[in-house]
């Protein structure tokens, strides 16, 4: 029996497998999380400085309060309300 130009079921299965592999490969390349080129997150920097002993836990808490306005301690403006000036 001559098949001619038809692929048969094996051909369609292999074609489908290659298309699926291509779609998955492109999806992984497109949707993988990208590294941020703007630098590290400020909180990560603070944590690493605290771990290295460059800042004290009190300095960490104060800086974290400046970075996170939802945290108790508020924002940079509330920390300057006790008479400090930003020069």
In 3D, which of 38, 41, 60 has the Cα closest to residue 49?
60
Cα 13 from Cα 23, distance rounded (Å): 15
| Model pLDDT for residues 26-60, shown as the tens digit of each residue | 988 888 766 655 556 888 888 899 999 999 999 99
| Model pLDDT for residues 1-27, shown as the tens digit of each residue | 555 667 788 889 999 999 999 999 998
pTM of structure: 0.38
Domain residue extents for the chain: 42-79
Cα 64 from Cα 82, distance rounded (Å): 18
């Amino acid at each position: 029996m001559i098949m001619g130009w038809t692929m048969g079921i094996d051909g369609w299965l292999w074609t489908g497998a290659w298309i699926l592999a291509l779609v998955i490969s492109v999806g992984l390349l497109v949707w993988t999380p990208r590294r941020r080129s703007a630098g590290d997150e400020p909180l990560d920097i603070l944590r690493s400085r605290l771990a290295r002993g460059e800042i004290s836990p009190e300095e960490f808490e104060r800086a974290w309060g400046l970075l996170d306005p939802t945290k108790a301690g508020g924002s940079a403006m509330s920390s300057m309300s006790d008479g400090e000036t930003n020069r």
